[in-house]
Structures are given as C-alpha cells and as structure tokens.
Amino acid sequence: MEKKYTAAIIGAGALVGSGKKGGGHQIGYTHAAAYQGQPRVKLVAVADIHAENRHAFQQKFGVEKGFTDYRVLLRECRPDLVSICTYVGLHHEMIISAARAGAKGIFCEKPFITSPVALADVQRQAQETGVKITVAHIRRHLPAFIRAKELYQSGAVGQPLMCIGGIAGWDLSECGSHWLDMFRFFHHDRPVRWVFGQARVRSLRGYGHAMEDHAVAYFEFDGGGKGILDGGMAMNGPWTMTLVGTEGTIRIQREDTVVLDTVTGRKTETFPADGAYIYIWRKMVSDLIDWIEGGAEPVTGLTNMAQSAELNLAAYISALRGDRIDLPLSGAAAAIDQWPVELLAQRHRLPRKNEGSGRK
C-alpha cells in the first residue's frame, strides 16, 4: 500500500479573479492543484497573513485548517510536504523552520534564496535534517525547451557558442532566474566558470525587496559556451531565447515553438504548452516523493538548483563589486549575507562627492 503524505501551502496568494496581478501572486493555487492531482497526497493546511486570501484558498481547495502564522501551522500540523510560495526574502527562514519541524520535502518557489550565506545555511540544514528540497524551475520539463536542448547539443547548429535572452520589463531574479536556469540546462548543467554583471539600481521595489531598473549577466561555462541575459530589455525581437552555434541558430518563440535556422534552410516545430503545465507540476511533486522514498534526486533538487541560485547571486555580486566573479563563490563574495540588490540600492542612496559638479 502506498504511503500517504500530508501537504501544506505557505503563501496562498491573491484570490483568483480578484483583479489583482496574477502569475506569481497566485502561485499557491498552482501548488495546491498539483498536490490535489496526486493520489498519494492530502492537502491539509494553508498559511497566509491575509485573511481574505486564506479563506478564499480554503474554500477553493477544501482545506480545513488555515493559519496566519506559518510557524503555528508547522508546529500544529507537522506536514510531510511544504510548499513555500512567498517572496524570496522570506524563503530562508521558512525553509529552516519547515526542516526543523520535520518536513520530509520542501517545494520552494523561485528565485530561491537571497544571499550566499543563506544558501550555505539551507544546504547545511538539508544535510543535517535529511529534508529534500526542490525548486520550481518547471521549464526544464517543457517540450519546446527539451527539444531546443536536443538540437543545441546534438550538433544541429555546430559547436554550441552562446545562449542569449532578454526580458523586457523584468529583472535577473523574479523572471530572469528561470532564464539563467535554462541556460544551464542547455549546457548540461556544467559548472559556470565566471560571471560579469552590471546593474542600474535606483528606488524600484517589488516582491518585498529592492529590484534593479536594468541589469545584465554575462558568463562562461566550463568546457565552452557562454550566456547573456538582459534583465530589463528584450534582445531578440519576438524570440524568447536564441541559442547560437558555429553553423546556425535555434530560436524559441513564446514557450511552444522552436525554429532551427542553418545553411540548409529553416525548420519550425510547435509543441503543446498550456496543457503541459499542470502535468509538469504534478510530475515535480511525484519526483519529490520518489526522492523522499529513496529514489534519485530530481534535476530540480537542491544539489543542482543551488548552482542556479549561485549564478543568479553572482551576477548581482559582480555588479556590487565592479569585478568578475569566479565560481564557486568563495572569500568575501561567499560571506555576503544580504540580498545584493539591497546593497546596490543603499550605495545609490549614499551622497556622492561633487556629483554633477563637473569637478574631480
């Protein structure tokens, strides 16, 4: 007989249909639907500081127990599985609390963590408690991206040279973390050797933390291949990503179309996207349970996702220090214990000597 697992959501999100901005603000609903599609899982509790959101979520999914404080939820319900669907600045404390409360598995939203020190602490806690942690980088399972990787690594465009992407109106973390993770995916998750980052940070805030107005990350993989991500400006016209090789290009449009251009011509392939999403979310829950039960760590498990988080943080740390950052992080870079964009924002607010005077 299969073991049954209890699950809880931390961060219900806004009521669907409330008129509030969607997407990540309602990601708790997606996690709940993934759990309810799993016969081995029973969703038993939710925590959200907003009573309206919490009650709407409970009614939508038939969840009996609702809490304002996630720590009370963890103490009273002791769930086996915990989804963390809050902003990145809250993840560290919530992960540690869930691990210490005896959670067997944690399904955490992205961006994953705010600093190298927090990342190292999460890794230590996972080792000490045995909790299995997976991060919601779901695009690794979308058919169009899988096909693009197959073409890129099979020699269809010659030797892989570079992955390029630009996200108009977004940043390197909230949306860009997906793109950085996909660039690693396209390069077989080989280690990143170094990162150059630059950022314009002023007063913009969102998701509970400082955000850049515009930032760029440029990096190289061990064994060859580079990546460029522009957080703020579209780079490719209608294309989501472009993969460049010595003999052609692979371009991904939206998340469902792959266009291969070589000297022999153009080939276009279209894949299902919308219908694939809920299946992927349920697969990720199933993979987490299989891992808990002794199976292999999934590709979105902590071991691999820590490297995506490190790449993301390194781009900001490079901007902060005005220098190239070599990976893995070490020394002063590894000792940073704050969200690097907050540090960049603080630097901008400091008075600057003779600023605008034209004098040196």
Q: How many CB atoms lie within 10 A of CB 295?
A: 12
What one-character DSSP code corresponds to residue 327? S
Q: How far apart are CA 153 and CA 159, in angstroms?
A: 8
**Of 192, 170, 173, nearest in space to 312 by CA:** 173
What one-character DSSP code corresponds to residue 347? H
State pTM to two decimals: 0.92
CB 226 within 8 A of CB 245: no
Q: How far apart are CA 104 and CA 101, in angstroms?
A: 9
CB 157 within 8 A of CB 225: no
From first to last of the 360 residues of the chain, give the pLDDT tens digit: 678 999 999 999 886 544 333 345 789 999 999 999 899 999 999 999 999 999 999 999 999 999 999 999 999 999 999 999 999 999 999 999 999 999 999 999 999 999 999 999 999 999 999 999 999 999 999 999 999 999 999 999 999 999 999 999 899 999 999 999 999 999 999 999 999 999 999 989 988 899 999 999 999 999 999 999 999 988 877 889 999 999 999 999 999 999 999 999 999 999 976 667 889 999 999 999 999 999 999 999 999 999 999 999 999 999 999 999 999 999 999 999 999 999 999 987 755 443 333 332
Q: How far apart are CA 137 and CA 181, in angstroms?
A: 7
CA-CA-CA-CA dihedral for 133, 135, 139, 142, to nearest 10: 30
Please give the CATH number for the structural domain made up of 139-273+298-360: 3.30.360.10
Residue spans of the domains in the chain: they are 5-138+278-297, 139-273+298-360
What angle (nearest 5°) sits at the alpha carbon of residue 75, between those of residues 69 and 76?
Answer: 90
Hey, what are 108's tokens? 């955490």
B/e letters for 5-19, b = 16+ CB within 10 Å, e = fewer, are bbbbbbbbbbbeeee
Please give the CATH number for the structural domain made up of 5-138+278-297: 3.40.50.720
Contacting residues for 105 by C-beta, under 8 A, at least 6 apart: 5, 80, 81, 82, 131, 132, 133, 134, 288, 289, 291, 292
